[in-house]
Amino acid sequence: MATDTRTISLTVNGQPVVAEVEPRRLLVDFLREDLGLVGAHIGCEHGVCGTCTVLLNGASTHSCITLAVQADGADISTVEGLADGGELHPLQDEFSAKQGLQCGYCTPGMLMRAREILTRNPDPSPAEVREAIASNLCRCTGYQFITEAVLAAAARMRATREVVP
């Protein structure tokens, strides 16, 4: 069958990507199946749970209700781009230290959402962290240790920023 496709050009974790996609192809399927970036997960498929969260031009986006063609020209960041080589990002490290994950399924979405939060507000209060991550469901942790992890990572990231002007 001749399938109608579109060409999209975008940047994913700093790498340029050009691809042919069906107009109806979801961004999450494009990332997972076409690019092999399986960190963005599929949870509810209707934009509620947030486990598919990636950053699109720096803004957290539910990739399960975003079409791949909508990402044409965009800069996408996924959890795979978070660690710096072998070194975990402070958010990843603090999620581990505080046990801010159990099954791990919401974790990539939570990490990307947290990264966005801390970009916008490097010094959030616990209440601000809770309000900000309320976009993402976690069924395991009850959010307490996630909140602690985000706050601990924020403190480390602020300290790093002060040292490196």
Partner 1 sequence: MTTADQATPGAPPVRDHSAKRRWVGQSIRRVEDPKFLLGRGGYIADRITPGTLHAAVLRSPHPHARIVGIETAEAKAAPGVHAVITGAEAAELCDPMPDFGPDPARHTWRCLAAEKVRYVGEGVAVVVADSRYLAEDALELIEVEYEPLPAVTDPERALADGSPLVHEALESNCAYERSFDFGDVERDFAEADVVVRDRLRWHRSGGQPLETVGAIAEYDPGTGSFTIDTNTLSFTSYLFMAAATLKVPVNKLDIRPVPAGGSFGSKLFANKPAMIAGMCARKTGRKVAYLEDRVDNISNCDHHGSDRVYDVELAMMRDGTMRGIKIDVIDDYGAYIQFGVGHHGNALAQVVGPYTIGSVRYRVRAALTNKNQQGAYRGFGSEVNNWMLEQMVDKAARELGLDPVAVRRMNFIREFPHFIPTGNVYDSGDYERVLDHALDLADYGHWRDEQRRLREQEGRYIGIGVITAQERSVFSATEFWFWFDEPGAPVTSTPESVSLKVDATGGITAVLYSCAFWGNSPETMVAQLVAEEFDCSPYDVSVVYHGSRDGLPATGPGGSRTTVMLAGAVEGAAGRIKEKARRAAAHLLEIGPDDLEWADGGYRVRGDPERKKSLGEIAIMLHLFKHSFPEDMESGLDASKVFDHPYTTMPSADRKDLGVFYPFVGHACHVPVVEVDIETGAVTFLHYAAVHDCGTLVNPRSLAGHIVGGTAQGIGTALYEEFVYDEDGQLLSSSFMDYLIPTAMEVPELTLGHVETPSPYTPHGIKGGGEGGRMMAPAAINAAVNDALAPLGVRLTELPMTPERILAALRAAGHAG
| CA geometry: angle 50, 77, 30, nearest 5 deg | 75
Closest to partner 1 by CB, 16 vs 36, is 36
Contact 54, 31 (CB under 8 A): yes
Q: 19, 37, 151, 154: which one contacts partner 1 (CB under 8 A)?
A: 37
Contact 75, 10 (CB under 8 A): yes
Continuous segment of H or E residues that includes residue 145 = helix 144-163
**Under rule CB under 8 A, residue 115 binds partner 1:** no
- Helices 107-120, 90-97: inter-axial angle, 10-degree rounding: 120
Show contacts with partner 1 in window 40-69 (CB under 8 A).
40-46, 48-49, 51
Closest to partner 1 by CB, 71 vs 145, is 145
Contact letters (x/-) for partner 1, 70-109, by CB under 8 A? --------xxx-xx----x---x--xxx-x-xxxxxxxx-
E strand spans, the chain:
6-12, 15-21, 53-56, 59-62, 75-77
The residues of the shown chain that bind partner 1, judged by CB under 8 A, are: 1, 22, 24-25, 32-33, 37-46, 48-49, 51, 78-80, 82-83, 88, 92, 95-97, 99, 101-108, 111, 126, 129-131, 133-135, 137-147
